[in-house]
Amino acid sequence: MKLPPEFISLSQEIGAQPLLVQGPGGNTSVKIEGHMWIKASGTELAEARDKNIFVAVDPAKAMQELEGAGDGSCRSALINPDGGLRPSIETTFHAMFNHKFVFHFHSVAAICHAIAEEGRTALAEKLSGLQWVSTPYRKPGIPLTKAIRESVGSRDIQVIVLNNHGIIILGNTVDEVREQINEVEQRLNLPVLAEGTTNVPTADYPGWNNVSEVSALATIPHLFQRATSGTYYPDHIVFLGPAMPALSSSELARLNPVEFPVPAVLVEGEGVYLKSDARPAQRAMLDCIYNVLVRIPADWTLLPIGEEAEAELLNWDAEKYRQALSKRTG
Ligand SMILES: [Zn+2]
């Protein structure tokens, strides 16, 4: 099956923009002749032109998983179960809409609004005139899809802001989707408010790299406080662990990166350190939390997902989890 080239193009284009998609985050789908082609789990939208990242599912079967059939992974809905690709964990909400095209991504502008009380309130004015709705935070998969279904109801909606997560854009043509993405991004755009300073590391930290581009997370006090006191959206915890741990320079100098459970740490007033063997997706997620926090006005009230939601997203054992939690300041 040859997928519409304009669909592949737009998927790749948003995938290549770190302010819209980070690493393997986000997913897009198209429905053609009773099948739905959706981004496969673990693949990257940025590779849409170069690789086959889409997998075909039966949307009716995916909807049955929403009603309790299968395990919620939508593997039962695969047209070719032996093809090696698994559908995205977010397949059920793609299947739920009749729209031909569904684009879901982790827009930094949308996240900035969706993780703050004042941001959520501002959406009403900023998105006025668009057919939009917001939905409460739920764990990605069946719980999120059910929450979206409840929020949308029978209304004709094109834009769904997912609290503490991202955004969904629905359309029947790729042009329509592209227009909505541009419109929403323009309306929700927030300027960068804080530039970091780069301080010289006080010690050598074997196995860790200083990521000077995001040093504001450690050197600007309110960003440091926000970065270390909570987790604001699921991909952060999946790739970087809960919140961000704060260590002193001497603690980091003594730390064996192999034994530490998360890939990035902050040293207050000094810098941000990433394990030197960190995966590109982990670096992308570090850039994401920086891009989010440097845009949120200092007087907005942030709404982290909370420890229960963190634990639900991690399959960490209790000890590993406590260890990471003990490193947070808030
Ligand atoms: Zn998502």
Please check the confidence at residue 10 and state whether its pLDDT lies above 80: yes
pLDDT band at 228 (very low <50, low <70, confident <90, very high): very high
Is residue 54 in a domain? yes
User: What per-residue confidence (pLDDT) applies to 94?
Assistant: 97
Q: How far is the CA of 43 from the centre of ligand 1 (A)?
A: 13
Each residue of 172-182: b (16+ CB within 10 Å) or e?
Answer: eebebbbebbe
Q: Does residue 171 sit in the same domain as residue 225?
A: no
Q: How far is the CA of 105 from the centre of ligand 1 (A)?
A: 6
Output 255 or 195, whichever has higher pLDDT.
Answer: 255
Q: Does residue 139 sit in the same domain as residue 264?
A: no
Q: Does residue 149 sit in the same domain as residue 26?
A: yes
d(Cα 44, Cα 106) in Å, to the nearest integer?
Answer: 13
Q: How far is the CA of 164 from the centre of ligand 1 (A)?
A: 10
Question: How many domains does the chain contain in total?
Answer: 2
List, for residues 25-80, the tens digit of each pLDDT value. 999 999 999 999 999 988 999 999 999 999 999 999 999 998 888 777 888 899 99
* % of the chain residues with pLDDT over 70: 94
In terms of residue numbers, what domain contains 252? 208-325
The domain that contains 22 carries what CATH number?
Answer: 3.40.225.10
User: What per-residue confidence (pLDDT) applies to 329?
Assistant: 43
User: What per-residue confidence (pLDDT) applies to 95?
Assistant: 97
List, for residues 295-307, the tens digit of each pLDDT value. 999 999 999 999 9
Please check the confidence at residue 330 and state whether its pLDDT lies above 50: no
Vertex 90 angle, CA 27 and 57, to 5°: 85
Q: Does residue 213 sit in the same domain as residue 304?
A: yes
Q: How far is the CA of 197 from the centre of ligand 1 (A)?
A: 32
User: What per-residue confidence (pLDDT) applies to 73?
Assistant: 83
Q: Does residue 154 sit in the same domain as residue 239?
A: no
Give the pTM. Answer: 0.93
Please check the confidence at residue 151 and state whether its pLDDT lies above 80: yes
Q: How far is the CA of 106 from the centre of ligand 1 (A)?
A: 6
Ordered strands of the 27-32 beta sheet: 54-57, 35-39, 27-32, 101-105, 166-171, 159-162, 132-135
Q: Does residue 43 sit in the same domain as residue 136?
A: yes
Q: Does residue 280 sit in the same domain as residue 148?
A: no
Is residue 128 in a domain? yes
Our measurement of the distance from residue 46's CA atom to the centroid of its chain's CA atoms, rounded to an integer in Å, reads 15
Please check the confidence at residue 225 and state whether its pLDDT lies above 90: yes
Measured between alpha carbons, how far is residue 95 from residues 8, 32, 42, 127 in Å?
Answer: 18, 12, 19, 25
User: What per-residue confidence (pLDDT) applies to 89?
Assistant: 87
Q: Does residue 129 sit in the same domain as residue 264?
A: no
For the segment 131-156, the average pLDDT, to the nearest whole number, is 96
Q: Does residue 66 sit in the same domain as residue 33?
A: yes
